[in-house]
Structure 1
Amino acid sequence: MKIVTQVKLLPEAEQAAALSATLRTVNDLATWVSEVAFASEVPREYELRKHTYQHLKACGLGEQAAQHVIKKVRDAYTALHANLKAGNYGKAASKRRRQVESKPIMFRPDAAQPYDDRCLSWQYDTQTVSIWTTAGRVKGVRFACSTDALKVLQQDRKGESDLIERDGAFYLIATCDIPEADQYEPDSFIGVDLGIVNIAVTSAGYQAAGRGLNRYRKRQLALRAKLQKKRTKSAKRRLKERSRREQRHVKNTNHIIAKTIVTEAERTCAGISLEELKGIRQRVRLRKPQRVTLHSWAFAQLGDFIVYKAKRAGVPLVFVDPAYTSQTCAECGHVDKRNRVDQGLFICRGCGVVAHADRNASHNIAQRGESVWNAGRESRVPATP
């Protein structure tokens, strides 16, 4: 299982200048390579190398750095074509799609630059790195990370690492290949119902209320609107400072929720049953005031956190169809739209049971998860002699 580990570099003034100049140089050259690829309609990395490699070398890039710049450009176009094919930029005749297709890809001056082990070496005992720059090899660049992150880097780091600059600070994003734990046979399943009012409700009794997070988001939205109206230099500076604060807050909240769910499943020797929510933004139809709430909710992020934490812990996990889970009684199985009285109340029209609506849905998801798991298991019936 591949995960990424982020460490913050703590360079001296001269080292920081060399790193900054390197990122700007390689990204300027990547933009030039992109223009060549767009004008020449070069489809493959090998052919693109023929057109650009010698020029990159003449501009002061080393062999590996030049290769990485070309590969970065080629990967960017591969991702662009995949998004176009998937319709993420609209239909063929749409204005947005025409704009994307009519110009080459541009790279920001501080965009990420990949490094392999020839260009970057790690010294874990001293917590320093030696890294290639356009000014030569820079050694002894200190980095900071947690004890757990350092342990993961030492044991499982494999492949490339990306150098990025963010708000004047430098970071290395390292790829780590962590072995997955052996899955155990679950005694039961914990159903997880995801929502907006309640971020996550489980059949085991855990409830992560979304009231605080939703209020925080509304406050941030109002503050952004207020600063955008001012249009002063100080307001723009404040907006830039706060640009990723909400993302970090939501990410931290999702990490806490995912860890709580996986820990409870591991403690009780249970599996986890999640809703398959892909495409929910395209399926649902909401009024305009509700769209901001829906589209700012990190559906996929929370699900991804639960998945990778479950794999690391060896917790079995299945995805189920969420259709009618909020309208189905977990006690008798009666399905009726009127069962869901309001957001928080469920009253079955068949058996009369009264329950919390999200808790009832989580029990339905747990039952479906157990069915999916049993259907996918190998038969335990002895072979016929």
Structure 2
Amino acid sequence: MKLVMQVELLPTPEQASALQATLRACNEAASWVSEIAYAEKTYRNLELRRHTYTQVKARWGLGAQAAQHVIKKAADPCTSTRARQRTRELHRTASTRRRQGALKPPSFRPDAAQPYDDRMLSWQTEARTVSIWTTIGRLKGVAITASAGQLATLARRRRGESDLLHRDGNWYLLATCEVPEAEQNTDPTDFLGVDLGIVNIATTSDGEIMSGRRLNHLRQRDRALRTKLQRKGTKSAKRRAQRRRRKEARRTRDVNHKIAKHIVAEAARTGRGIGLENLTGIRERVRLRKPQRALVHSWAFAQLGDFIAYKARRAGVPVVHVDPAYTSRTCSQCGYLDRANRASQARFACRSCGFVDHADRNGSRNIRARAWELWRCGAPSPAPAVPRQRGGRTRAAHHNQWCAVTQAMSPRRQACDTTE
């Protein structure tokens, strides 16, 4: 599997100035190439190279490899945009402003990332330095900082190109590494159901609840500050809002990494698989009041699911995505489905058997049962969900499905569910 390793550069002021000039020249050249592509109606990389290669080298002083990467970088968005226009996909999915913008040649920011291949960039991992090409010559001995594990992975597993990136005053190299996957556990003893939410970011079928109250409090504070800065509207306010946005994204990513690492480690330790909800298209399916919309749309559930999936692949833990429909309203003990079962956000009380539990814990156990049944039957994970129409499945149908799942489980599993 492929992983992107981020390594920070520590250039001197002179080296940083050379890197800045290089990025500016490459992105100016890429913007000019995209204008030529739209003017000549030539969007393919090879054809575009015939029109622009010599001018790019002479006008911006780029080397042969850099000029080719610049042309390819400009050709890729042109080709994809034209393809979406031909298939009418852009007209169906994009807004009017975006469709109008697609008629103009794409432009590149002065500090946009620039790809480097092995002819333009060489790594000295033992010395913790790199040698990198710039418009004023090759810079040797540019210091990098990374952990010993990252450097070892770079030395053994790095493949293909690396991207030079300037962000928030810092310099980074994004290197692609080909990391081997562990052998998947084809005979899991059970599944660890994971219920994803907003108040509680993740709840496992073992009963562990990973609360998101602190993260939601910080998000609410950031949202209030962002509203205040947007109303102010000055350039400094916009710059500060941009910095806050990145800080919030980093915080959320860090929390999701920690949660995913813990869940995968627990499943690998106990020899179990992981059952996740298939939440594709949830924003199009649910109806929310206005105060809830910002909270739900800032919920990074897809990122957490991706983190769990790729960490599980590295650990050899199987992951099964199940249909999340009615998992929060169905009793994990008797299978009775009723909207009134969900007494509150945190409390589940079955109207049939009287079973009482935390609502998210009850939902995670339903997810575990569905994941186990899908794995036992060898059925694929459900396709992305679509908005539910009227006249859907009845309570009896869901109850019968739950009974089929329970009866198909082994006697040991049924005994475990009874004792919990």
- C-alpha deviation, 1:37, in angstroms: 1.5
- In structure 1, distance between residues paired with 2:206 and 2:83: 40
Structure-2 change in CA distance of 1:198 and 1:87 (3 Å): farther
Query: CA 1:233–1:72 in structure 2 vs 1: closer, same or farther (change >3 Å)?
Result: closer
What is the CA–CA distance in structure 2 between the aligned matches of 1:353 and 1:203, rounded to whole Å?
16
Distance in 1 (alpha carbons) for counterparts of 2:65 and 2:150:
27
Whole-Å Cα distance in 1 between the matches of residues 361 and 86 of structure 2?
A: 39
When residues 337 and 88 of structure 1 are mapped into structure 2, their CA distance, relative to the original with a 3 A threshold, is: farther
Does the 8 Å contact 1:165/1:171 carry over to 2? yes
Contact 1:89 1:96 in 2 (8 A): no
Alignment RMSD (CA, Å): 2.0
1:380 is matched with which residue?
A: none
1:43, CA displacement in angstroms? Answer: 3.5
Deviations 1:198-252 (A, max 9, x none): 1100102221111111100011111222334445565455434434111111110
Count of equivalent residues: 377
Q: 1:331 to 1:88 in 2, by over 3 A?
A: farther
**Which deviates more, 162-171 or 229-238?**
229-238
The alignment's TM-score, normalised by the length of structure 1, stands at 0.92
In 1, the alpha carbon distance for the partners of 2:144 and 2:22 equals 18
Contact 1:90 1:97 in 2 (8 A): no
Match of 2:252 in 1: 250
1:366 & 1:192 partners in 2: Cα distance?
8
Of 274-283 and 51-60, deviating more is 51-60
What is the DSSP-based 3-state SS (H/G/I as helix, E as strand, rest coil) of the residue aligned with 1:180? coil
Which residue is 2:263 aligned to?
261
The CA deviation at 1:350 is 2.4
Contact 1:90 1:96 in 2 (8 A): no
The one-letter amino acid of 1:297's match is W
Task: Tell me what 2:160 maps to.
Answer: 159
Q: Post-superposition shift, 1:313?
A: 0.9
Q: Secondary structure at the match of 2:328?
A: coil
Residue 16 (1) aligns with residue 16 (2): yes
How far apart, in 1, do the equivalents of 2:136 and 2:155 lie? Answer: 28
Q: Provide the rounded CA distance (Å) in 1 between the counterparts of 2:94 and 2:206.
A: 50
Please state whether the residue corresponding to 2:99 is helix, strand or coil: helix
Q: Is 1:45 paired with 2:48?
A: no
Whole-angstrom distance in 2 between the partners of 1:42 and 1:290: 46
Deviation, 1:40, is: 2.2
Corresponding residue SS for 1:187: coil
* Corresponding letter in the other structure for 1:4: V
Distance 1:85 1:375, change over 3 A: farther
Residues 239 and 43 of structure 1: CA distance in aligned 2, closer, same or farther (over 3 Å): closer
Unaligned ranges ≥5, structure 2: 380-420
SS in 1 for 2:92: coil
Gap change, CA 1:93 and 1:293, over 3 Å in 2:
closer
Q: Which amino acid aligns with 1:12?
A: T
Deviation at 1:146, TM superposition (A): 2.0
Q: Give the letter aligned to residue 55 of structure 1.
A: Q
Report what 1:198 is aligned to: 200
Name the TM-score, length of structure 2 as normaliser: 0.85
Structure 1 residue aligned with 2:32: 32
Contact 2:275 2:320 in 1 (8 A): yes
Q: Distance in 2 between matches of 1:175 and 1:93?
A: 31
CA change 1:6–1:93 in 2 (3 A) is: closer
Cα deviation for residue 61 of structure 1 reads 1.4
Q: What does residue 351 of structure 1 align with?
A: 353
Aligned to 2:169: 168
Q: Which residue of 1 aligns with 2:6?
A: 6
**Are 2:143 and 1:142 equivalent residues in the alignment?**
yes
Tell whether 2:275 aligns with 1:273: yes
In the alignment, is the contact (CA less than 8 A) between 1:92 and 1:98 conserved in 2?
A: no
Q: Per the alignment, do residues 309 and 84 of structure 1 end up closer, same or farther by CA in structure 2, a change over 3 Å counting?
A: farther
Deviating more after overlay: 79-88 vs 89-98: 79-88
Map residues 304-319 of structure 1 onto 2, 5 A cutoff: 304-319=306-321
Alpha carbons 2:91, 2:99 under 8 Å: kept: no
Amino acid at match of 1:114: P
Residues of 2 paired with 1:34 and 1:159: CA distance?
25
Give the distance between the partners of 1:86 and 1:219, measured in 2 at CA: 43
